[in-house]
Amino acid sequence: MTRLEMGPPEPPAKNSPQTEEAELRIRVERLQRIFRSSHHTGHGYGYFDWDLDAGRMGWSGGYWRHMGYTEADVEYISLSDNYYDYVHEDDLDTLKDAVVGILRDPGPRGVCYRVRSKKGDYIWTEIRCDATAGPDGRVSHVSGIAMDVTNQKKMEHALKASEERNRRILQSANDGIWEWSAEKGGFHFVRRCWEQLGFSSGDELLEHGLNSFAAWRGRIHPDDGRLFDHILEQHIKGEAPFEVEYRIRGKEDSWCWIRARGRMEFDENGQPVRMGGTNIDITALKEAEERVRKAKEQAEMANRAKSEFLSSMSHELRTPLNAILGFAQLLDFDSNLTDQQRDNVSEIQNAGKHLLQLVGDVLDLARIEAGRLTLSLERIFPVALLKESLNLLQTQAEARNIQLELVDNELREFAVTADCVRLKQIILNLLSNAVKYNRDFGKVIVSCSIVKTHFFRIEVEDTGYGIALERQAEVFQPFSRLGAEQAGVEGTGVGLVITQQLVKQMEGEIGFESEEGKGSKFWVEVPIGELGGATVSTDSVVGAENLQLNGVPTLSFTNNKKILYVEDNASNQRLMKQLIGHFAQLELITAEDAFRGLFIARTQQPDMIIMDIHLPGMDGFEALGILKQDITTKNIPVIALSANAMSHDIKKGRDAGFEFYLTKPINLHQLVEVLNKVLCKSECSQPTSPHNSTSSKQTEASEKGGDKKGIKQAESLDV
């Protein structure tokens, strides 16, 4: 009989053993499905049941497969004695302590430790478990779940590292943190903020409660409190960032400087909700700034004192030189001198010129070192300047039969960007050295070339004794004569130092080559000027020290003229009287001070006034101002003749309104040129002095090398 024929089987009895077994099987299958669905093999979850009596663990889920182990591996790992081999050695004590704890006191527990994967690395595992104990209290089973929490641990470590890093940064920055919260209703200052003011942990009452901001604000300097409030208000309105420096009273009533920065946060309605920021103690920085400010003021005072000293030195040295060189020039006008007397006059002139050059060199060097030497860069033609400089040194070279040669490289049309006066000073220094340190019957060869595409190179080569190799490092050191002082060659030892600094200021280069016994070659490179633009005629910049005395100069007018000379120095008065005495059409009136000079100017109406600057009672500038304001004297031309020859002195004279500013020691040819320029007017023919074309431009030429600004001012004051 088939089962179909027999009909359906009788269902088992409700409480029969078969029914209980079937229900148990259903629950097991249900739990397995739940394990499989909720803890997929790819996830690091697993359930375990540790049978302590059997000494092994039963595992469900994908925990071990997640770490790369096979079923066979799990069988081995599940043995109690083997499991500990897979735990990180640094975590063994942690795990064993947890096991001992749950065995002694059964109940829910948790522990976290590292377990080795199949690849050999470690994952962090968190165990959550409970124990099952028998009636006697002995634990027979420990069951629970194992979870891979490696990512969570990494995040915790990263967060901890970030917190540690921020803590180190804050500690190293020494900043104080503060925060305001609308929700909490007040400010909070961390202890570091108060420590910046000198308070210790025992003074914490200052930061307790809602009055911490009031306590802080009350210590801000009154002058800075208003600024603090204003910047905070602007920030809240969104008009400016919150960054302010202010003084605040410290614990010992000393003032500390704080730099505060912060930022306000607003809600969706634009209302402020919280603000955080930092306080930086900048007291040391402010004290350093104050020291720097005072040091700067002291340095400026020292520079002013130095400038005043140099100006005074220049004045005091030029005053006696005015008499020495002035009277020597008058003697040179005398045609009755014997040859020996004329030689004596020449010696006086040469010594005076050397002393004048020394004064100019020292003042130039001092100005360069103080950074007070200014240049006027323009386009000039260096070949023309070279020819003019060679002409000026021709007499000196011929005295020793030294041949001067300019190699014509057809570069006459090339212009350079330089200060005309200073470039001429550079060329004259190099040429003068090439002559002074040459042999008798020697040769000086000057050549030009274009190098590095945009530099004009000037080379000055001599056939002198050269410079020993061991002393070549001293060439550009101040006051180093390289032994020339023992050979009796005149010089100051600063000419090349000044030359080097001038070349650098014109963005050029200078160098030399020398071989002992064969001669030296010095070269200068200056930038080539751009095409077009204004150029400077080199004829306008001949220094007064280079004007040659070719007999008595002549006047270019015949009408009688009256000149008033205001000068308190009797020697200078005598010099001027003797000079003017050479010209029958000139009458000289002298005044010892400005007050008498003003009286004479009003009453006698001279055709020209020559005014000293340093006068007793009233100086020349004040006198000039009064003359220009008086309707009876305002049209009388006034010439300054002063031993104040610094650049700022000449600028001051130009600004004051002098027709010309001449410096002592006076060059008599130059003075006559100015007389011709001022007094000639419509009756004049061209002046006959050989230096007429340059005289009106030489207002500062008595100072070494001249000054471009001082020279150009004469052009603007031409009558």
What are the respective helix, strand and coil percentages of the chain, to the nearest 5? 45, 20, 30
* 92, 116: one domain: yes
Residue 339 located in a structural domain: no
DSSP code of residue 74: H
Last-in-domain residue among 541, 570, 597: 541
Q: Residue 80 belongs to a domain with what CATH number?
A: 3.30.450.20
617 in Cβ contact with 592 (< 8 Å): no
Q: Same domain for 481 and 574?
A: no
- Quick one: average pLDDT of 305-334? 78
> Do 397 and 521 belong together in one domain?
yes
**What is 323-372 written as a DSSP string?**
HHHHHHHHHHH-TT--HHHHHHHHHHHHHHHHHHHHHHHHHHHHHHHTT-
Q: Do residues 537 and 561 touch, judged by C-beta distance below 8 A?
A: no
Sign of the dihedral through C-alpha 679, 685, 689, 691: positive
Based on the fold, state whether residues 122 and 187 are members of the same structural domain.
no
Side by side, the strands of the sheet bearing 56-61 are 56-61, 45-51, 139-148, 122-133, 109-116
| pTM of the complete model | 0.47
Q: Is 89 within a domain? A: yes
Determine the Cα–Cα distance for residues 554 and 672; give it in Å rounded to an integer.
7
Task: Please give the biggest Cα pair distance in the chain.
Answer: 177
Q: Which range among 29-33, 35-39, 540-544 has the greatest average pLDDT?
A: 29-33
Burial track 188-224 (b if 16+ CB lie within 10 A, e otherwise): bbbbbbbbbbebeeeeeebbeeeebeebbeebbbeeb
Pair (605, 649) in one structural domain: yes
626 has a pLDDT exceeding 50:
yes
Structure-token pair, residue 717:
């004051």
B/e letters for 467-493, b = 16+ CB within 10 Å, e = fewer, are beeeebebbbebebebebeeeeeebbb
Instruction: Please state the domain count of the chain.
Output: 4
Instruction: Note whether 251 and 197 are within 8 A (CB).
Output: yes
Handedness of CA 390, 394, 399, 401 (dihedral sign): positive
Q: Are residues 419 and 567 in the same domain?
A: no
Contact 470/482 with Cβ under 8 angstroms?
Answer: no
Highest mean pLDDT among 25-29, 201-205, 418-422, 478-482: 418-422
The pLDDT of residue 33: 61
Cα-atom radius of gyration of the chain, to the nearest Å? 50
| 708 compared with 296, residue with greater pLDDT | 296
pLDDT of 365 strictly over 80: no
Tokens coding 348: 């006086």
**What confidence tens digit (pLDDT) does each residue in 553-583 have?**
788 888 899 999 999 988 889 988 988 888 8
With vertex at residue 127, the alpha carbon angle to CA 122 and CA 129, rounded to the nearest 5 degrees, is 160
Alpha-carbon distance values, 523 to 49, 296, 368, 665 (Å): 98, 38, 21, 33
Phi first, then psi, for residue 460 (nearest 5°) are -120, 110
Q: Which residue range forms the structural domain that includes residue 463?
A: 374-541
Verify that 496 and 617 share a domain, yes or no.
no
640, pLDDT greater than 90: yes
The per-residue pLDDT for range 402-416, each reduced to its tens digit, is 999 998 777 877 888
Q: In what order do the strands lie in the sheet with 416-419?
A: 416-419, 377-380, 535-536
Q: How many CA atoms lie within 13 A of 679 on its CB side?
A: 24
Angle among Cα 55, 59, 65 to the nearest 5 degrees reads 125
Report residue 301's pLDDT band, with 50, 70 and 90 as the boundaries.
confident
5, 26, 183, 192, 463 from 12: Cα distances, Å = 20, 16, 70, 81, 137
For residue 374, give the 3-state DSSP assignment. Answer: coil
The Cβ of residue 241 has, within 10 Å, a number of other Cβ atoms equal to 13
Closest CA to 659 of 583, 579, 718: 718
| Predicted confidence (pLDDT) at residue 10 exceeds the cutoff of 70 | no
For residue 593, the domain's CATH number is: 3.40.50.2300
* Token couple for 514: 């020398």
What's residue 124's pLDDT? 94
For residue 633, give the 3-state DSSP assignment: coil
What angle do the packed helices 647-656 and 708-716 form, to 10 degrees? 10
Q: Give the pairing of strands 638-642 and 586-591.
A: unpaired
| Residue pointed to by tokens 């280069």 | 509
- Spatial neighbors of 429 by CB under 8 A, at least 6 apart, are 495, 496, 498, 499
The confidence score (pLDDT) of residue 41 equals 43
- Residue 468: which CATH number? 3.30.565.10
Question: Could you tell me which residues come within 8 angstroms of residue 21 by beta carbon, excluding any fewer than 6 positions away?
Answer: none
Q: What is the distance between the alpha carbons of residues 593 and 619, in angstroms, rounded to a whole number?
A: 9
| pLDDT mean over 523-550 | 51
Q: Which two tokens stand for residue 111?
A: 């522990």
The pLDDT score that the predictor gives to residue 61 is 82
Indicate the residue among 498, 516, 541 that finishes a domain: 541
Q: Which residues does 23 contact at the CB level (< 8 Å), separation at least 6? A: none
Identify whether 434 is part of a domain. yes
Asked if the structure places residue 108 within a domain, the reply is: yes
| Residue 25 belongs to some domain of the structure | no
Question: Last residue of a domain, which of 256, 281, 306?
Answer: 281
3-state secondary structure 464-509: CCCCCHHHHHHCCCCCCCCCHHHHCCCCCCCHHHHHHHHHHHCCCE
Please state the φ and ψ torsions of residue 681, each to the nearest 5 degrees: 55, -145
CB 639 within 8 A of CB 662: yes
Q: Look over the chain and give the mean of its residue pLDDT values, rounded to a whole number.
A: 79
pLDDT band at 86 (very low <50, low <70, confident <90, very high): very high
- Band (pLDDT 50/70/90 cuts) for residue 688 is very low
CB–CB of 259/245 below 8 Å?
yes
- Chain position carrying tokens 């000086």: 444
Predicted confidence band at 703 (pLDDT cuts at 50, 70, 90)? very low
Phi, psi of 104 (to 5 degrees): -80, -35
Q: How confident is the model at residue 42 (pLDDT cuts 50, 70, 90)?
A: very low
In a domain, 268, yes or no: yes
Judge if 196 and 235 occupy the same domain.
yes
User: Is residue 409 in a domain?
Assistant: yes
CA–CA distance, 678 with 688 (Å, rounded to integer): 15
Dihedral (Cα; 385, 386, 392, 396), 10-degree rounding: 160
Give the contacts of 201 (CB within 8 A, at least 6 positions apart).
191
Residue type, 220: I
Question: How far is 363 from 681, CA to CA, in rounded Å?
Answer: 37
Q: Examine the pLDDT at 11 and tell me if it is beyond 60.
A: no
34-43, 499-508, 607-616: which is most confident = 607-616
Residue 594 has pLDDT above 60, yes or no: yes
Q: How many helices (H) and strands (E) does the chain have?
A: 22, 23
Q: How far is it, in rounded angstroms, from Cα 610 to Cα 653? A: 13
Q: How far apart are CA 564 and CA 589, in angstroms?
A: 5
480 and 579 inside one domain = no
Q: Please give the Cα distance from 289 to 472 (Å, whole number).
A: 43
CA distance 693 to 687: 9
Asked if 117 and 232 sit in the same domain, the reply is no
Query: Between residues 542 and 628, which one has the greater pLDDT?
Result: 628
Tokens of 118: 């199949």
In a domain, 303, yes or no: no
Based on the fold, state whether residues 410 and 435 are members of the same structural domain: yes
Q: Are residues 388 and 530 in the same domain?
A: yes
Residue with tokens 């700034």: 289
Gap between the Cα atoms of 149 and 159, Å rounded:
15
State pLDDT tens for residues 217-245.
888 999 998 999 999 889 988 888 999 99
